[in-house]
């Protein structure tokens, strides 16, 4: 699968406590860490997802992006891809699932809020580089 991304992604470091949470259709709650984000979508990470709800083009309705000091934004997420990532260290290996999603905004205001958060994150990263 070839993915052509229009929007640059901002890779989040562990200093940002960004999460995505919500409820699957069956009422089961989910919580994912946000790995990276752009104004078009995000990549989520988790160790044990319910893969039944994460097929290609499935939609996580009313997913809440908890963006620490930037607040929460409710969006629909269209699942584009799910892969298992294995980090192989000399002594141990660690693995997690990466869930690539596209934002489906219900309101233009939410898109503008995501764009503002990204701009703030980029400016903060540039300031930290200069210090």
pLDDT over threshold 70, residue 103: yes
Do the domain assignments include residue 2? no
DSSP bridge pairs for 10: 37
Tens-digit pLDDT profile for residues 4-29: 556 677 788 666 789 999 999 999 99
HEC string for the chain: CCCCCCCCCEECCCCCCEEEEEECCCCCEEEEEEEEECCCEEEEEECCCCHHHCCCCCEEEEEEEEEHHHCEEEEEEEEEEEEEEEEECCCCEEEEEEEEEEEECCCHHHHHHHHHHHHHHHHHHHHHHHC
Do the domain assignments include residue 54? yes
pLDDT over threshold 80, residue 92: no
**For residues 64 and 87, which has the higher predicted lDDT (pLDDT)?**
64
Q: How many structural domains comprise the chain?
A: 1
% of the chain residues with pLDDT over 70: 89
Query: Are 42 and 65 contacting, i.e. CB atoms less than 8 angstroms apart?
Result: yes
| Segments forming the whole domain that contains residue 51 | 12-130
pLDDT over threshold 80, residue 79: yes
Record the pTM: 0.86
Q: Check residue 87 and give its pLDDT.
A: 80
Do the domain assignments include residue 35? yes
As a whole number, the mean pLDDT across the chain is 89
Q: Check residue 1 and give its pLDDT.
A: 47
In degrees and rounded to multiples of 5, residue 58 shows phi and psi of -65, 155
Q: Check residue 52 and give its pLDDT.
A: 93
CATH number at residue 72: 2.40.10.220
* Confidence at 44, pLDDT banded by 50, 70, 90: very high
Do the domain assignments include residue 7? no
């Amino acid at each position: 699968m070839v993915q052509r991304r229009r929007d640059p992604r901002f890779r989040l470091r562990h200093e940002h406590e960004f999460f995505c949470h919500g409820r699957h259709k069956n009422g089961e709650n989910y919580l994912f860490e946000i790995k990276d984000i752009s104004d078009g979508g995000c990549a989520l990470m988790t160790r044990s997802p319910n893969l039944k709800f994460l097929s290609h083009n499935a939609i996580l309705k009313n997913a809440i992006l908890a963006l620490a000091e930037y607040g929460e934004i409710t969006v629909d997420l269209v699942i584009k891809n799910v892969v298992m990532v294995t980090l192989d260290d000399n002594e141990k290996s660690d693995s997690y699932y990466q869930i690539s999603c596209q934002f489906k905004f219900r309101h233009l205001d939410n898109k503008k809020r995501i764009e503002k958060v990204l701009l703030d994150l980029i400016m903060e990263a540039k300031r930290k580089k200069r210090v």
